[in-house]
Chain A
């Protein structure tokens, strides 16, 4: 069985404590992973500056070329994986086995990662708004004859990564070409991408001392956040609330992503049904960018009914099946608890589980040791219903009846908002709404991201601070 060591600035370290990564359905161990301890990270972080120095030995343009090559290795090569090696197929198989994601989704996520790596030059140009890259390397430059200075706020970025969605890895791929080191705490069920990506980076000539990987428990995550001057953490609402207002930590949580249909478009809702289905269903509804709420002032029952009819036929398939579209829940009891919570929510006045009308049997399906939740569409006749703002890690959406005039005050924080309206005043309000992060005006699926745009804050602005700088000859 493969053993994945701790990587201390690229150097493998075998811990005396190991955790097993197990197959979601059989419970059989797939890999053994060395468990780091918090003090070890704090100690290693004393050398964090070396990571940036090692990367600054290369130009950003050179690093962009290297990560491009890393993307090719990541997609095609058999790469070291701990004390073993993994081909791309073995990687997909392992990732699916431990996360419960169908293999075709794992492949889709690989392509997403590789795409970002191959387009890194354009991504960075976009995120820096055309800044000359050497300004980030040297800290100073001149733009339109004005001195400018961008100062890195940390030599490394810490990441406390999740297990449930391998798609989030795209967020940290631009870090190394920005000459910032990586300190990764992988999700317990998804160590695969950090290790494979690190191996691909090393293969492409990225210095080993630029990357550290610390698998472990909660104390390890806490140590990463404590020790790195800038970190990203992925978690639930509690995590986001906990780090709100903490400038050194950017917390990524539930998206509460929504589609809003304006009064001027709602009578033509059928035209947008495919877009709605894709927004709800792609990637098994696991992402923060999956739509969990569709809001309109009328026709909401018909919309819910049509969505339910489209989604009710979905059934779990073996993860290697080319048509598999549902991910399994890998933590025992979670699917059942979610299903019970949805049933409780559906008891509220004005709330109905519309999918229940379209399929025999319940939404919880047990296939051996794996649990699945079938896509679920609720209808809420008022935005006051608690289910109107719920999000779960499977294809789940509530179609909410709400007057357009009340929508923006009622939707709450929304990571991605696709708004269907040509109404100028409403579009202006949408553009001004500070509780909406990504805004799509027009029928853009919420899950379709433009990689040249920032996601939940611009990572460049998080890592670099624009500041005043003047110099005079001595």
Chain B
């Protein structure tokens, strides 16, 4: 058992309640996406090939397996408009991308989802470390990703103003693949230089989003300047990435943060943002993530038989399901693996810990670049 899990009878009731809410939400979302008046061209066209009617035959979350695995390739290439639900026609649409070092990146349309996701996440942040009205630093990838807009919205939602320093992960991957280590270091220094400048410019920045690699680089830079993250004014950090291992989490807490609070997150453009249960010496710094159900669901499934959940504590591949009015993505097999975690008091549904690149892809994928 890696986190303080929820095993009482009251918790069973909470889990059942959450499950009922999820099933109800699934029905609502399936109704929306397969209604000719509100659904997206992609799903309406697909419905014609299924040979069954999702609106009458999908009653629960488990029924979503009938769709089979969500194909990665469906999200590559256009026209992107096929993903816009008719029920949301006329609203301003964003498009966000994932990956994309080579070939065509996956795209997801967004209208308000990123705002809703981050407002929900905002409610999980402890106010003593992330004070309302505080200014933030967003130190990480922007460009075609949603992070910049999302973190900026999070800051504004909490009454603050967000300063941004960009990092282009696609360029970083190229530098790594080409072996241009000097350029890589120079680019990292360039990014950290900007962060240090912003932090030293009397903007009263107290909160930050950044990635583990950049957090490490920033902390080491500040240490070399005789100061620390905490002394630079930062009280709360949220961070995320597959290199967020328990050992790194511990290293950060013991040697980098100087008492600043850090909460790990797991997420991407396709799913949204999963918060984590508290981690620390009590659980060997294991990080368990919980999706923002019912808008998104994380499952840990068998590597060879993805229809089957692995037992609690066992390792499997991460499967994501996104259930919003803007985007319906049932059963997407993520490029990550981890251990299935039981429900947690605050999140009475399954979680995942030990997230790392899926072993089949790990050797060929450049990860942990930012």
Contact = CB atoms under 8 A, between A and B. Distances in A.
A16 B250 contact: yes
Interface residues of A, number: 15
A35 B247 contact: yes
> What's the interface size class on B, roughly?
10 to 19
Contact of A242 (B179, B185, B223, B251): B179
A42 interface: yes
Interface string B247-259: 1101110011000
Which of A15, A16, A219 counts the most chain B CB atoms within 10 A?
A16
B245 A40 contact: no
A16 to B, nearest CB: 4
B247 A37 contact: yes
Interface in A1-19: 15-17
Contacts of A226: 181, 185
Contact of A17 (B181, B216, B246): B246
A16 B220 contact: no
Contacts of A222: 181
Contacts of A38: 216
B256 A39 contact: yes
A43 interface: yes
A46 B251 contact: no
A17 B247 contact: yes
Interface in A199-239: 219, 222, 226
B223 A43 contact: yes
Contact of B255 (A15, A17, A43, A242): A43
B285 A16 contact: yes
B224 interface: yes
Contacts of B252: 39
Given A16-B284, A17-B247, A39-B251, A46 B223 contact: yes
Contacts, number: 38
A39 B216 contact: yes
A391 B222 CA distance: 47
A17 B223 contact: no
B179 A17 contact: no
Interface in A36-83: 37-40, 42-43, 46
A241 B118 CA distance: 46
B246 A16 contact: yes
B185 A37 contact: no
Contacts of B250: 16
A46 B224 contact: yes
Contacts of A17: 245-247
A11 to B, nearest CB: 14
Contacts of B181: 222, 226
A242 B250 CA distance: 33
Contacts of B246: 16-17
B251 A37 contact: yes
B349 to A, nearest CB: 26
Contact of B220 (A15, A43, A219): A43
Contacts of B368: 219
A40 B223 contact: no
Contacts of A15: 247
Interface string A85-109: 0000000000000000000000000
Contacts of A16: 245-247, 250, 284-285
Contact of A40 (B224, B255, B285): B255
Nearest to B219: A39
Contact of A39 (B179, B185, B248, B285): B248
Contacts of B285: 16
B248 A37 contact: yes
A15 B185 CA distance: 26
Contacts of A219: 368
A39 B220 contact: yes
Contacts of B247: 15-17, 35, 37
A35 B251 CA distance: 12
A37 B253 CA distance: 14
Contacts of B220: 39, 42-43
Contacts of B185: 226
B241 to A, nearest CB: 13
Contacts of A37: 245, 247-248, 251
Interface string B198-231: 0000000000000000001000100110000000
Nearest to B284: A16
A39 B220 CA distance: 8
Contacts of B245: 16-17, 37
Contacts of A40: 251, 255
Given A37-B247, A46-B223, 7 more contacts: A16-B246, A16-B284, A37-B251, A39-B252, A39-B255, A42-B220, A222-B181
Interface of B: 179, 181, 185, 216, 220, 223-224, 245-248, 250-252, 255-256, 284-285, 368
Interface of A: 15-17, 35, 37-40, 42-43, 46, 219, 222, 226, 242
16 contacts: A16-B284, A17-B245, A17-B246, A17-B247, A37-B247, A37-B251, A39-B252, A39-B255, A39-B256, A40-B255, A42-B216, A43-B223, A43-B255, A43-B256, A46-B223, A219-B368
- Give 7 nearest A-B pairs by CB, closest first: A16-B247, A39-B216, A17-B247, A16-B246, A242-B179, A15-B247, A37-B248
